[in-house]
């Protein structure tokens, strides 16, 4: 499986390393172990003892070192061996690969490529830890290729069927009948935008607005290669100003675990009722249910892909334009990375906090 390797991927939430925790996770088919040094800095190592390959995470943390559970070899957060019980001499090969790990926007970002890691290339998703927004956060393990998840997130046409009880519409044609405008930005970003004026409020939006009547709604999906997607939506009652809309930025932070599995970290930032802890929890529960629905579809789809093979989609519909463009852009970036030794893609997100220009 080929991935874009010279890029920052989300390895976890920042607070996962609190209280001396040691976290093991497979990322891009590489087993990684992460921990926080007592001085505060975070570290990521390949999760393998250089002696007999036991995962270091299966051992014990001793101070700021990891002690292998097989023969007691100790490895520092920099990957060096400080102790080989039973002998004084430590072989120079007794070391572990270290990866760049950074904390930003409440997340752990890891660089697994061969090129030098540049923290300036970490995507700016400041909504996740901004005081002007409040977030509901979570994680899903998805039994599917991360590209299927990107396809799903860039597809604005499935919610009437997959998400009928949350963000979908009972009238199956109500949402698909509104046009989607797709645009390409630079070498690795795709944007799909849809406006839905004067529609019945789906259950989720009725809940966050505390309004059962008709609403105006916009939805923008953005794919930023290699694996970050963002959904920007706003809803407001018909007859009111969009400047007072309930607005949310949904961050979909997808990191491949393996060829057929994905770590799906997510955060739903909103700009209204910031002190309402009950709403924060209600949003979290609703999003968990919504993404559970997607995870079922993706898992079934992955099994079919493995059985029947690609390409996906077999037959392209209008709704597939944004997902297809996103896949093609990622494929082109991976090809460039393979062919150009010094190539490093510079990602960008195209979402502003100002109200978008609307035609409704």
CATH code for position 193: 3.90.380.10
Please tell me whether residues 53 and 138 are part of one structural domain: no
In a domain, 163, yes or no: yes
CATH number reported for the structural domain that contains residue 53 in this entry = 2.102.10.10
Number of separate domains in the chain: 2
Residue-level pLDDT at 161: 62
Domain span including residue 195:
125-339
Distances (CA, A) of 250 to 35, 45, 110: 27, 30, 21
In a domain, 146, yes or no: yes
Please tell me whether residues 66 and 209 are part of one structural domain: no
The continuous run of DSSP H or E covering 153 comes out as helix 146-154
Please tell me whether residues 135 and 108 are part of one structural domain: no
pLDDT tens digits along 164-204: 566 555 654 567 778 899 999 989 999 999 998 988 888 88
**257-268 mean pLDDT:** 97
| Alpha carbons 275 and 131: distance in angstroms, whole number | 11
Please tell me whether residues 110 and 155 are part of one structural domain: no
Please tell me whether residues 301 and 194 are part of one structural domain: yes
More confident residue, 163 or 5: 5
In a domain, 358, yes or no: no
pLDDT tens digits along 305-347: 999 987 788 888 888 899 999 999 999 999 999 999 889 998 8
In a domain, 264, yes or no: yes
pLDDT tens digits along 217-257: 899 999 999 999 999 999 999 999 888 899 999 999 999 99
Please tell me whether residues 180 and 257 are part of one structural domain: yes
Please tell me whether residues 216 and 309 are part of one structural domain: yes
- Taking 90 as the threshold, does the pLDDT of residue 258 lie above it? yes
Strands (E), the chain: 8-13, 22-27, 30-36, 42-46, 60-62, 65-67, 74-76, 81-83, 98-104, 107-111, 134-142, 180-185, 189-200, 214-224, 228-237, 246-258, 261-270
Q: Is residue 242 within 8 Å of residue 343, measured between CB atoms?
A: no
Residue-level pLDDT at 346: 87
Q: Is residue 56 within 8 Å of residue 49, measured between CB atoms?
A: yes
The continuous run of DSSP H or E covering 187 comes out as none
């Amino acid at each position: 499986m080929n991935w874009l390797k010279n890029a920052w991927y989300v390895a976890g939430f920042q607070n996962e390393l609190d209280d001396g925790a040691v976290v093991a996770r497979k990322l891009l088919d590489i087993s990684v172990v992460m921990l926080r040094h007592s001085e505060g800095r975070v570290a990521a190592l390949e999760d393998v003892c250089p002696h007999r390959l036991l995962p270091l995470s299966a051992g014990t943390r001793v101070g700021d070192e990891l002690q292998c559970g097989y023969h007691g070899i100790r490895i520092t957060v920099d990957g060096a061996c400080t102790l080989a019980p039973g002998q004084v001499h430590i072989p120079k090969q007794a070391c572990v690969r270290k990866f760049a790990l950074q904390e930003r926007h409440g997340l752990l970002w890891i660089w697994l490529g061969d090129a030098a890691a540049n923290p300036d290339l970490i995507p700016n998703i400041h909504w996740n830890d901004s005081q002007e927004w409040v977030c509901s956060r979570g994680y899903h393990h998805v039994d599917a290729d991360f590209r299927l998840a990107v396809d799903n997130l860039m597809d604005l046409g499935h919610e009437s069927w997959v998400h009928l009880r949350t963000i979908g519409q009972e009238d199956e044609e109500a949402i698909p009948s509104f046009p989607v405008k797709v645009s390409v930005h630079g070498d690795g970003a795709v944007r799909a935008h849809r406006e839905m004026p004067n529609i019945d409020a789906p259950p989720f939006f009725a809940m966050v607005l505390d309004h059962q009547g008709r609403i105006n709604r916009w939805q923008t999906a953005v794919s930023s290669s290699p694996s970050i997607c963002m959904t920007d939506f706003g809803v407001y009652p018909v007859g009111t100003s969009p400047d007072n809309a309930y607005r949310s930025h949904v961050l979909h932070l997808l990191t491949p675990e393996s060829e057929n599995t994905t770590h799906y970290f997510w955060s739903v930032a909103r700009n209204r009722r910031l002190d309402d802890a009950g709403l924060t929890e209600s949003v979290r529960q609703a999003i968990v249910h919504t993404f559970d629905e997607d995870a079922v579809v993706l898992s079934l789809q992955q099994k079919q892909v493995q059985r029947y093979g690609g390409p996906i989609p077999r037959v392209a519909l209008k709704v597939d334009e944004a997902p297809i463009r996103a896949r093609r852009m990622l494929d082109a970036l991976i090809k460039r990375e393979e062919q150009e030794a010094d190539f490093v893609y510079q990602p960008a997100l195209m979402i502003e906090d100002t109200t978008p220009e609307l035609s409704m």
